[in-house]
């Protein structure tokens, strides 16, 4: 399916829509989960080591979502890479 046909379905390229969903919906949920985990770590210092491991995994997931989002729906303010 060519790009024009993809755009005509729903008015926007499905990959671009997926990137926007990752950026606007998934990334904020991951960030909120990270903040909640930090609060939980402060309330339960004995679990800090385990919380830190989960936070590291969550940060990795956020980085991957961010990169994929930028690949699928690049910002108009980001210079194109060569």
Give pTM, 2 decimals. Answer: 0.73
Asked whether residue 36 is domain-assigned, the answer is yes
Asked whether residue 18 is domain-assigned, the answer is no
Mean pLDDT, residues 44-73 taken together: 96
**26-30, 51-55, 75-79: segment of lowest average pLDDT:** 75-79
Count of structural domains, the chain: 1
Beta carbons of 52 and 41 less than 8 angstroms apart: yes
Comparing 50 with 74, the larger pLDDT belongs to 50
Asked whether residue 43 is domain-assigned, the answer is yes
Range of the domain at 52: 28-71
Asked whether residue 1 is domain-assigned, the answer is no
Beta carbons of 34 and 62 less than 8 angstroms apart: yes
Q: How far apart are CA 14 and CA 75, in angstroms?
A: 16
Mean pLDDT, residues 10-23 taken together: 87
């Amino acid at each position: 399916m060519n790009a024009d046909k993809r755009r005509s379905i729903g008015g926007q390229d499905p990959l671009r829509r997926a990137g926007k969903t990752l950026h606007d919906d998934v990334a904020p949920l991951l960030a909120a989960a990270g903040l909640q985990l930090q609060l939980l770590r402060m309330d339960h210092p004995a679990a800090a080591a385990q919380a830190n491991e989960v936070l590291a995994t969550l940060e990795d997931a956020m980085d991957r979502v961010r990169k994929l989002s930028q690949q699928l729906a690049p910002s108009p303010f980001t210079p194109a890479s060569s």
